[in-house]
Amino acid sequence: MGPPSGFYVSRLVAVLLAGVAAALLLALAVLAALLGRCAHAPPSDLPGRGDSPGERAPPPAAPPPRPTGEPSGPLPARPRHPAGPWDELRLPPWLVPLHYELELWPRLRHEAPDRAAVRFSGRVNITVRCAAPTARLLLHSAALECERAGVRGPLGSGAGGAPRARVPVDKVWAAPDMHYLVLELGESLRAGGLYELQLSFSGRASRDIREGLFVNVYEDQGESRTLLASQMEPTFARNVFPCFDEPALKATFNITLIHDPGFVALSNMPVLGQSDKEDVNGSKWTVTTFHTTPPMPTYLVAFAVCDYDHVNRTERGKEIRIWARKEAIARGEADFALNITGPIFSFLEDLFNINYPLPKTDIVALPIFDDRAMENWGLMVFDESLLLLQPDDQLSERKSIISYIISHEIGHQWFGNLVTMNWWNNIWLNEGFASYFEYGVINHLNPKLPKNEVFFFSILHNALTEDHALVSRAVSLKVENFTETNEINELFDVYTYKKGASVARMLSSFLNEDLFINALKSYLGTFSYSNAEQDDLWRHFQMAIDGQSQIILPATIKSIMDSWTHQSGFPVITLNVSTGVMKQEPFYLGKVKNQTLLTHNNTWIVPILWIKNGTTQPIVWLDKSSKVFPEMQMSDSDHDWVILNWNMTGYYRVNYDKLGWKKISDQLEKDPKAIPVIHRLQLIEDAFSLSENNYIEIETALDLTKYLAEEDEIVVWHVVLMNLITRDLFPVNNYDVYPLLKKYLLTRITSVWKTYSTIIRKNMAALQDEYLTLISLEKLFGAACWLGLEDCLQLSRELFRKWMSHPEYEIPYQIKYVILCYGIASGTDKEWDFLLNAYNDETEEEERIFLAYAMSCSKDPWILNRYLEYAIIESPFTFNETNIVDIVAESPVGRYIIKDFLVNNWQAVSERYGTQTLVFLMYKLGRTITTDLQLTELQRFFSTMLEEHQRLAAHANLQTMKTENLKNKKRRARIAAWLRKHT
């Protein structure tokens, strides 16, 4: 599945992704519909299939056979059954699926394009091997109406085998809690025998991708269109057809789609043939059949039925097609993706020495796909915003994002599709390695990219920010930790993707690239078309290590890596340069003196790559809580300096004693370029994080910024500004430190500002290949204008007025929000009305959100009041994409007017945005409370709009915010004292 966002992106994109996350959480809260009526009569036969590779371990003894009887009648809403295997999350291992004959018939018509829901029917014949005698069959089915169910067998071993006898089905019923369909038979199936389950079913596809089969309604060439696509990962195949919906239960598939002749039908494999069909009303349909798939799990089964065009090319004899809206194909928006897809496949084929096994690859650009992208074998799907690129859009980080996401999904063709994890507890074997290799691929295709800095910004920073002891989770979980399906869905998070990728990168760094790749080749070759567990991976790494003598490890690879994947959090490594003593401890949020009371007793086996005076040193290992390294010891008088975690390849933060930090700070002031860029990033990032969480004093972190007048790398400035200009330090309208920080930073930021403001004015195209610069520009420009740098404010006015005079002019996207915001802030109602008109004329939802936020930057109370009034009326303006009340409350001036507006208009606001808007407003308005009087005032204010049962929770939340604000106030006071001393 596509990686969660980890790039430093604009405020707009962050808002969009937050909205997507909220939508996903809401969708996951909805239970699947109950199964409908079932009968035991078999459906019309579909061709049966023989044996196929892959079996599960034998099951326990089967339950006793049930007497033959009649099929059950309609099921009650919640049937009551005694405890049994249907109460467990995992299927009992009684049956092993070998092959599916699947026919699906969605009733989507080309001439009825506005349908938000589509009914479908289908038939599936599943060839299974019985592992032990059983008269009770379980398979997955959710939100489906099972219309007929039958069992035939045992099947003959060949074409001339005995006829298939019918096994009587006494009863069919649903166990909806765990999404099971239960077939109770009149006689037991024989162990070792092959049988065919025959099921007919129907269901509904809507716009919700969590239904497995979903629809998109969109515009193309001026007309409304509808398409149908699938998303089965992790457990949504059961919403589309009855199946054995677990990743280890791989099988082959013969797929048939019945569809409107005006649509193209796509699936995992190439088309085998087509024929015509008439329904009972005499309407014409097309029957498209596809070649047999390799063995694969149900979550990779894929379909698309659409009215799309495509572009194609051949790479090493295999066709690649990109499908998209016809107007997008005509404009060449799929060409960039098409041109990079083939070389990515070729690079990974050569790297792993394993050819991509399918004869074709289709990639479909969906107008709306909340999961970003999905790696289905032979039929990948993407949200079109992450695949399509306008040919003239050369100056955009979108090119890089598209490249990374395509690389990620192609990486899954080996990690996930060819070799699949046994169970979802090891999903990081799919997602972590796909995330790791997406950066290896792009660095191969773009060798000038600074790979360590790119990995930091896109992966490592997010992982370290979210991960900490006790609260976060391990990368690899114990199987018994799972009790319900929703827990599987929740695994697609920062730990699976980004911590997983970071751990893989660390493994590569303390071995070497050749050894790392050779071990993976062995692993992929051994488990091709099969399944693996984490220990299987470590076994192949150990084999590679044992086969050479250069790399010596302090323990087995399993012991080392389990210490990182089986426990939450990461260590803080502290080096005392006076004594050479190095120790490790878990990283906690807000460390306190009695932290030892918390139970986190394990240690990590930590690879320490390090540099001394700019020269790399031999690796050392910290395999216990504390250890002495004499080679790192230094005196107070010499000029040596040491930095641990070379290239930030280790998944930990680094701390030093006061002398160690002082030597680094002195070196930065003396010659910052002697310390590589990645380590200037690391030092700022680690020091501020450690100071915020009570590991070191804030003054230690601030000392590292004294050299900044000499810092010309925008990516280092990006990290500095992220840590110095935060809402915790500068809550709305509480700028006690602002004048001091303004004076301190303006004397240091001028040089880097002049460099990039000149480029903006003269030749923005010069940055077209500078990915890290493009994602850092908004932070630099936003900070410069926030600090009141006159040239930044002037540039904002210039570009805003140029756009007003020439609407065809496009403000560079990377700084557009800053330009619009400060253009509005320094303007009048004339500029604001111009932006409102632009909003009304805009059709792209993303751009409308962008403009809505910029309009909240006005400093005129009457304009913001008018904006709020527009937000709660239906016409002439409709702000559907975002909560205007929420964003106005976040602005410096809006905070003063929002309370009166809510008091006077609460009924209209609650009707427009819902009562949950108070949750967001409580957070924003509570940012500055530090006294009991302020607390009481806000509690009284919110109480007037809250129900009785909500008030206690709200009061407690505000009290917590007050405590946090007091801590931040003390931190700001210390920063202010330091700034006075150094300004």
619-621-623 Cα angle (round to 5): 175
Burial class (CB in 10 A: 0-12, 13-18, 19+), 915: middle
SS3 content of the chain, % helix, strand, coil (to 5): 45, 20, 35
431 is annotated as contributing to ligand binding:
yes
259 is annotated as contributing to ligand binding:
no
What backbone phi and psi angles, to 5 degrees, belong to 182? -115, 125
699 near 978, Cβ under 8 Å? yes
Nearest of 810, 758, 796 to residue 767 by alpha carbon: 758
Here the tokens at position 204 are 């509904």
Residues 380 and 385: their CA atoms lie apart, in Å, by 15
Cα 88 to Cα 31, 180, 483, 535, 896: the distances in Å are 17, 10, 8, 25, 54
Here the tokens at position 85 are 């295997």
Cα 860 to Cα 92, 786, 867, 871, 980: the distances in Å are 66, 17, 11, 17, 33
Amino acid (one-letter) located at 338: L
Q: Is 409 among the catalytic positions? A: yes
Residues 247 and 531: their CA atoms lie apart, in Å, by 8
302 near 371, Cβ under 8 Å? no
Collapse the DSSP code of 151 into the 3-class scheme (helix H, G, I; strand E, B; otherwise coil) and give the result.
strand
Instruction: Say how far residue 44 (Cα) sits from the centre of its chain.
Output: 42
Other C-beta atoms lying within 10 Å of the C-beta of residue 34: 16
DSSP code string of 303-339? EEEE--EEEEEEETTEEEEEEE-HHHHHTTTTHHHHH
- Annotated catalytic residue within 184, 409, 453, 685: 409
User: Tokens 């992450």 identify what position?
Assistant: 386
Secondary structure element (H or E) that encloses residue 128, with its range: strand 118-130
134 near 62, Cβ under 8 Å? yes
Amino acid (one-letter) located at 623: D
Burial class (CB in 10 A: 0-12, 13-18, 19+), 879: buried
User: Tokens 């410069």 identify what position?
Assistant: 784
930 near 731, Cβ under 8 Å? no
Helices 790-805/771-786 angle, 10° precision: 110
Here the tokens at position 741 are 């920080």
408 is annotated as contributing to ligand binding:
yes
Nearest of 662, 652, 737 to residue 699 by alpha carbon: 662
The annotation places the binding site for Zn(2+) at 408, 412, 431
* Residues taking part in catalysis: 409
The annotation places the binding site at 408, 412, 431
